[in-house]
Amino acid sequence: MEVNDFKQELFDPKAWINGITKNISENDDRDKAVVSLTAKLQIYFQQLNGEFENIGQNVIQMLPKINRDAEKLSEDARILQDKLSLVKNEIDGIKKNTSSTIDSLERIDKVKMELVRYKEALHEADKWTMLSNEIKAALDVRDLDVVIPRVITLQQSLGVLTSACDYEDKKLELESFKNQVEALASPILLQAFTSKVVEESQRYVQVFRDMDRFPQILKLYSQNQKSLLIGAWDTISDGEAPESAFDSFQNYYPLLISTWQEQVKWCSSVFSQENVTVLLLDMYKDLFLVLSPKFSKYIDNNLKQVSEPLALLLELKLCTQQFLNNLKSNLDVNSVQQEKLLSLAKVVYLPYKNHISKYGIYQEAALHPHLTSLEITNSDIMESVQNLASQNSKAFSYLDNANKLCINLTESCSYPGYVKAVACFLNAYLNQYRLINKEISENQTKHEEVNMFQMCLTVLQCLGNFINRLKQFDQECLANINRVKVEYTNTELHPFYNYPKLLLDELRESDFEKMIKNVTNVSQMLELKPVFDYVKDLCQEVYDTTYAVIFEPLGAILNTIGSGSMWDNKRGGPTSDLPDYSFVPQECITQMGQYLMNLPQLLDPFLLSKNPELVLALSLVGPDYSSLSDNSNEENAFAEIFLGHVARGTCKAYVKQILAIQELSGTAAKQLATDINYLGNVLEDMGFSLSKKLQEIVLLLKLSPAEYGSQCSVCSPQLVAAIRQMRNIVSG
């Protein structure tokens, strides 16, 4: 039996008993085991009770001793407290009795220190005079080995002579000596820098550091390196064998990278206590500030000599971009503030800023010559129309190339100017559609209606194709701007790639920020809205021309109806009392009806197949056609709408011509009513009906003079008065 089991915090008697007896199989053995365990437990309890009694007895016996020890400790604490109080009183008494003595000792010590300082000052003053004379003599013979240690000693002495009456004079004298040492050492130091002699450079660097002239030596180093690198550029750019601008930069930038790598190692040895990366970044920034005007002038001169200046700018910019990428790979970015990297990158791209800020102007000028190759109009109208389809793809291919150029050259930062240039280009290109539409309108009587109608629909189809391409281009622009928005608003963007700040002036940067800010709130580029509006207007104009082409024969027939001669031969006679069914339509009306009946057949050849581009162009024409894109499966939807326009136009023109008739006899009135009814039958066969005004005119024409006053009230007062006057009916 394991007694330790009883120590468990969650002791379970049942589980313990079952565990003890689980290996006993027979009942008799189990009973014996239980009896044995019970006996053992009783023995353990007896032993435990005995132990408790012994421990309790010992505790009772020890309590008096514990109380006595506690009282003794308390007494000792009181005695110690009394002794500490006595010691404190004694110390206060000593301080009070000896305060004057201590003050005297402090004054004596102060006087002693003053005497020591004055003694040192006198010694340093004597030494100053001696060292000054030695320095002057050594300077006369330009012996720097003698001058330098003495100047450093004088600098140390000056710290002792701060209270001397001639301290300022001595300070000026020391500065004079330092200036002379700097003047004598600078040529030697420059030679050491140029020759990359580490030991000699380290020696003079330490000298300048000891003289508190270390900033001057850094300035001297920077000026020397800048002079060497500027001279290297002058040699490359002004060489006897002229190179292209790209070759010049391609040769110069690797020199800057190799110089950087060499100077990092050299400066780490010579300027061991300095941040070498920061030192070189400052030096390169100053270098590019000097080179920037030279680069700008050099680039400008080369741009004037090439036919595609933007292509040259792209080459040079990519070359500069590669230089910064190479420099980035050689930088210890953890030891440099981001502001310094951004400051350097700004001056590196400075020669390009003026050009890229004017990118929109350059791009517009670059696109303009392409308009010549896109000229569509010529002496043959049909040939001009046939050229439209191919020219759309050609025009947008130019824009795709321009888009790639904008992305690569300006890193999409000049998108506001680029899109404006695109809008100007497309508007100029669309002017040719307007010219073709004008030619069709002016020459519609010189060609058959079928041919003219076909040309009009082709122009509309090409406009639909243009709209599709324009929408695709618009979405590509939006996608690209959304991409660069994510890129340029990233807080972890490296300063070398923060192109809006590197390539744009303040005004263009503000325009770019507005564009990327607004891009999430629009579904269409705002700069392209004028182009979309222009295309919509063109669709309406071409549609109007299409309608005019179809309606022209009808208009010619209708123009004869209003003439008085047509009704002169119908001024009364025996036919005036004939019933209505004895009248037949006049020839001009039957011609018009025949033409209208043939129109569906005229439209069929152009509607045999689905034409989504034509549907798109027509959907911009007006509300009647706006649902065409939703009903694109109905091939005759356009025909129904178009024929409906023709039917309504015919009725409107017919009413106008009728109202122009001066006088109608009874026979003429019946004839006119017969003609109108015939037109109504034709329109009904086509699926349309007469306009309300024509229906009222028929009613008014059929009324007898006696019935006119009583039954005309259901008609328009204007028509009632007009027909009354034509028929010479006296108002009752």
Are residue 529 and residue 574 in the same domain, yes or no?
no
Are residue 525 and residue 380 in the same domain, yes or no?
yes
Are residue 498 and residue 416 in the same domain, yes or no?
yes
- pTM for this entry: 0.71
pLDDT digits (tens, 9 = 90+) for 388-407: 878 899 999 999 999 999 99
Are residue 524 and residue 594 in the same domain, yes or no?
no
What's the number of domains the chain is made of?
A: 2
Are residue 482 and residue 618 in the same domain, yes or no?
no
Segments forming the whole domain that contains residue 582 = 559-726
Does residue 458 form part of some domain?
Answer: yes
The pLDDT assigned to 135 comes to 67
Tokens of 447: 């060609």
Does residue 580 form part of some domain?
Answer: yes
Does residue 596 form part of some domain?
Answer: yes
Count the Cβ atoms, other than its own, within 10 Å of residue 649: 17
638 close to 618: Cβ distance less than 8 angstroms: yes
Three-state secondary structure call for residue 376:
coil
The pLDDT assigned to 545 comes to 92
Tokens of 238: 């002004």
Are residue 527 and residue 564 in the same domain, yes or no?
no
Tokens of 446: 């010189």
CA atoms of 371 and 367, how far apart (whole Å): 7
Residues of the chain short of pLDDT 50, as ranges, are 573-575, 608
Does residue 317 form part of some domain?
Answer: no
Q: Give the torsion through C-alpha atoms of 705, 706, 708, 713, to 10 deg.
A: 170
Does residue 507 form part of some domain?
Answer: yes
Given 482, 503, 536, the domain boundary residue is 536
**Which residue's structure tokens are 């824009």?**
399
CA dist 179 → 132, 176, 302, 415, 703 (Å): 14, 5, 46, 55, 124
The pLDDT assigned to 575 comes to 45
CA atoms of 670 and 726, how far apart (whole Å): 13
The pLDDT assigned to 338 comes to 87
Q: What amino acid is encoded at 418 in this protein?
A: Y
DSSP state of 490: -
Are residue 368 and residue 457 in the same domain, yes or no?
yes
Does residue 589 form part of some domain?
Answer: yes
pLDDT digits (tens, 9 = 90+) for 399-437: 999 999 999 999 999 999 999 999 999 999 999 899 889
Are residue 517 and residue 618 in the same domain, yes or no?
no
Does residue 288 form part of some domain?
Answer: no
Are residue 377 and residue 498 in the same domain, yes or no?
yes
The pLDDT assigned to 350 comes to 95
Three-state secondary structure call for residue 608:
coil
Are residue 531 and residue 568 in the same domain, yes or no?
no
* 188 CA to centre of own chain: 53
